[in-house]
Amino acid sequence: MEILNYTKEHEQFRNRVHDFMNKEVIPSVEQWEKERIMPKSAWKRLGEEGFLCTTISPEYGGPGHDFIHAYIVADELVKTHHFGMGPSTHSDIVVPYLNTFASEKLKQKYLPGCVSGDIITAIVISEPGAGSDVASISATMEDDGNELVLNGSKTFITNGINCGLAVVAFRDPAVDNPYKGISICLVEEGTPGFEKGKKLDKLGMYSQDTSELFFTDCRIPKENLIGTRGAGFQMLMQKLQQERLMVSIFSVGAAEYLLKRTIKFYKENSGKGKSVPNSQSNQFSLVEMTTDLTLGRTFLEKLLAEHMEENDVVTETSMAKFWTAEMVNRVVNGCLDIYGNLGMLEKDPVSRYFRDMRIMPIFAGTNEIMRQIIAKRMEL
């Protein structure tokens, strides 16, 4: 029995996405990994095919699909021999802030470009001294007539180099309570005082550009504020449920992709006179990883169904985020063990996923923060 209400249209959509990834993404991945960035032309192609911002209303140029379509795109992206989370970060983590909280004027101005791929977005929260603890951000936003003056630095920003529009969290230095002093605003690329720093050289996720961003007396119109002033912390908490679901989607998708390849490799290369021992230990390892994957996929799809019903599943998504992030790393390690020395070679995706998936327990709030959230909601 299916947990999600898959239709024939969903299956057709998945086939289109899968074919596109095979024809236009996978052949380019090696070049993107070398250049440490996914080119803007690839974003445009995703937009042309209708694979960006799939839930945005036709009123703003989007297809108006349900969230299963976003799930399908993310699930297929992570199976393209590279991490590939940048487009889903844009579509399903950043753009929802605009779609939910921005004024009608800002929606009309920016959403069509987000759908087409002409505008790439970034969510800008993390700072050198504030990561998972959002309330500790120090970048400031102050009034000056009809403008807001922004100062501060941000780091580890996904899509930081490519972004044409940044959704940025700042604090009001006049407000002592950090939970009531954070606001979110939009800053366009090219705004005086807004500068992109160097592209960060990371352990993995090579083709996903990550950078520092700097704001020095950066002036924006007050109309670029989204949502209610001072309500930024609550807005961020509201959207983190979907962000953590996206991390779980990528974790489960990567585990499924790599495990499928490893099982095929094992069947073809195990036995007498072959490179992999046909041992009970290897068999049990594959069985355990398959069980982990099945549990993860089932839990994830249950939460996706509840999320689409707009239910509060903060506790459960926190569970899913930390469990699937740890699960995919168990699977990657197990697959690498079965590949042996061959798994250390760059020619096979197993080594790349070994690097790329290490970030999952850290993304979108560390797994320690997830456990704290759950403990608090359990009133422990």
* Residue 3: predicted pLDDT: 85
- Rounded to two decimals, the pTM is 0.93
Is pLDDT above 60 for 50?
A: yes
Residue 129's pLDDT band, with cuts at 50, 70 and 90, is: confident
Is pLDDT above 70 for 1?
A: no
* Residue 68: predicted pLDDT: 97
Sequence ranges of the domains in the chain: 8-118, 122-230, 233-377
Residues of the chain above pLDDT 90, percent: 83
Tokens (6 digits) for 225 = 């504020």
Is pLDDT above 80 for 360?
A: yes
Task: Please identify which residue in the block is written with the tokens 């969230």.
Answer: 67
Q: Which CATH class is domain 122-230?
A: mainly beta
Residues of the chain above pLDDT 70, percent: 99
Residue 274's pLDDT band, with cuts at 50, 70 and 90, is: confident
Q: Cα(246)–Cα(93) distance, rounded to whole angstroms? A: 8
- Summary mean pLDDT of the chain: 93
- Please state which of the ranges 217-231, 273-287, 317-331, 359-373 shows the lowest mean pLDDT: 273-287
Bridge partners of residue 226, in order along the sequence: 184
* CATH for the stretch 8-118: 1.10.540.10
- Segment 296-305 shows an average pLDDT of 96
- Please state which of the ranges 122-126, 161-165, 326-330, 362-366 shows the lowest mean pLDDT: 362-366
Q: Cα(250)–Cα(71) distance, rounded to whole angstroms? A: 9
Q: Cα(4)–Cα(74) distance, rounded to whole angstroms? A: 16
Give the DSSP per-residue string, 250-281. Answer: HHHHHHHHHHHHHHHHHHHHBSTTSSB---HH
326 is an active site residue = no
pLDDT in tens, 69-113: 999 999 999 998 776 788 999 999 999 999 999 999 999 999 999
Residue 147's pLDDT band, with cuts at 50, 70 and 90, is: very high
* Residue 353: predicted pLDDT: 94
* Residue 134: predicted pLDDT: 82
Question: In 3D, which of 64, 48, 78, 35 has the Cα closest to residue 300?
Answer: 78
Task: Please identify which residue in the block is written with the tokens 């985020």.
Answer: 321
Beta carbons of 166 and 194 less than 8 angstroms apart = yes
Q: Which of these is catalytic: 33, 76, 127, 243? A: 243
Is pLDDT above 90 for 130?
A: no
Is pLDDT above 90 for 135?
A: no
364: left (phi over 0), alpha (psi -120 to 50) or beta: left
More confident residue, 12 or 133: 12
**What are the CA-CA distances from residue 291 to residues 79, 259, 279, 284, 297 (Å)?**
20, 11, 19, 10, 10
Architecture of domain 233-377: Up-down Bundle (1.20)
* Residue 83: predicted pLDDT: 67
More confident residue, 299 or 240: 299
